[in-house]
Amino acid sequence: MAWTASTNPEQEYHESVHSVDEKASRLADLIKQSKHFIVFTGAGISTSAGIPDFRGPDGTWTLQAQGRDRTGPTTDTLQAIPTLTHMALVELQDRGLLKHVISQNCDGLHRRSGILPENISELHGNSNREYCKDCGKDYIRDFHATATYQTSVHDHRTGRKCARCGGDLHDSIINFGEALPGDVLDIAFEHGQKTDLCIVLGSSLTVSPANEIPEQIGCRQYSLRWPATLAICNLQPTPQDDLVTMRIFAKTDNLMVKVMEKLEIPIPPFILRRLVTLKIENGTHNTSLVSVMGIDTDGTPASFLRTVKLLDYDYCMIAEPFIAAISGPLQADTVFNIELEFMGHYCEPKLIIPHKFEGSGASECIYLLEYDPSTRQWEVAPETTMQSTHM
């Protein structure tokens, strides 16, 4: 909040291009040698996507502390394109070099960029994730799944109900004065204890207990038993600068572009990936059931579909769960032309998937949909099919 920021923010510093290049070479060598490389990220990695930071000269909390309004444009987190830093981390993950991301960010860009849910600890929550306290079910949304806090700042109920048990859904955002989720924090500290290289990217390291993780890593730089290297890339000084092995005053994109060049690994473009399950089965009372659902990579329900149409039946589903009852039993090799309409934050056009019912029981297919925001084109990857005689 504004009270945690100063009306006179720390000055920003920018190292020379030559200095950043030299440090990027050293970091690339350390990444190659590392057995358990992790990164710790803050708001600074998302500023190039148009999302303001908090404590910079024009940070959200700095402006509030100064009583000023923002004058420049900002980007909604739902429409923001993951940055070069985000995509570099995805590629390092996919190549097995990056083991874990510990993030203070709530903007959801890490998950959207392609960081797997098991490879990230979102310490302060995710504005696109809500969960049921009763049964623990997670839901990923393509909208801001946050509470209105009309009752109090600690009332995290979003007003929606759990599809599994009917319990109240709660947002995952951690407000000031609230404890971090113990399981997430434990995993983050566990990776901090195992790491031999941690790079802090775009964090002021002023918020506890999150900042204790890099602090503990920095204190091990001279350890004979568990040595670790701590590097910090941030434009402003941090309280842990005296603990680092390497300090870089640069924008995170500038550093990570250089690091990837030294590693000879290209940074991939951002591709929006969506998983959709299509399930068709002969039901009871001479009907057939067609259900469509978006899912995340871990099988968590993901809400990114606005409507689903069965074009051949002139049937439109306008709300989750997208389930249609079709009169009459289905014949094998029946083809359904299913039109998907998305939330459209990246101007995604509608997509028609021709889906064949194979017959003999129920079938469930998972389609991988890939959307390139630069071309506004969808590609449908080959589906995975799961067959069952009883569901």
Residues of each annotated binding site for Zn(2+): 132, 135, 162, 165
State how beta strands 157-161 and 272-282 pair: unpaired
Residues at the binding site are 132, 135, 162, 165
Strands of the sheet containing 120-122, edge to edge, are 120-122, 98-103, 37-41, 197-201, 229-233, 246-248
Pick the catalytic residue from 86, 100, 124, 170: 124
Nearest to 31 by CA among 243, 225, 231: 231
For residue 117, whether the previous peptide bond is cis, meaning omega lies within 30 degrees of 0, is: no
- Cβ-proximal residues to 293 (8 Å cutoff; 6+ apart), any chain: 276, 277, 279, 301, 320, 321, 322
Three-state DSSP state, 154: coil
**In which element (H, E) is residue 142 found?**
none
Residue 380 tokens read as 């449908």
Environment class of 257 (CB within 10 Å of its CB; exposed 0-12, middle 13-18, buried 19+): middle
Residue 183: both structure tokens together: 């399981």
* CA–CA separation, 137 and 162 (whole Å): 8
Planar angle of CA 50, 56, 61, nearest 5 degrees: 90
Residue of 325, 355, 329, 330 whose CA lies nearest to 340: 355
Q: Is 170 tagged catalytic?
A: no
What are residue 33's phi and psi, to 5 degrees?
-85, -20
Identify whether the C-beta of residue 351 lies closer than 8 Å to the C-beta of residue 380: yes
**In this structure, what token pair is assigned to residue 285?**
């009372």
Give catalytic residues, as residue numbers. Answer: 124
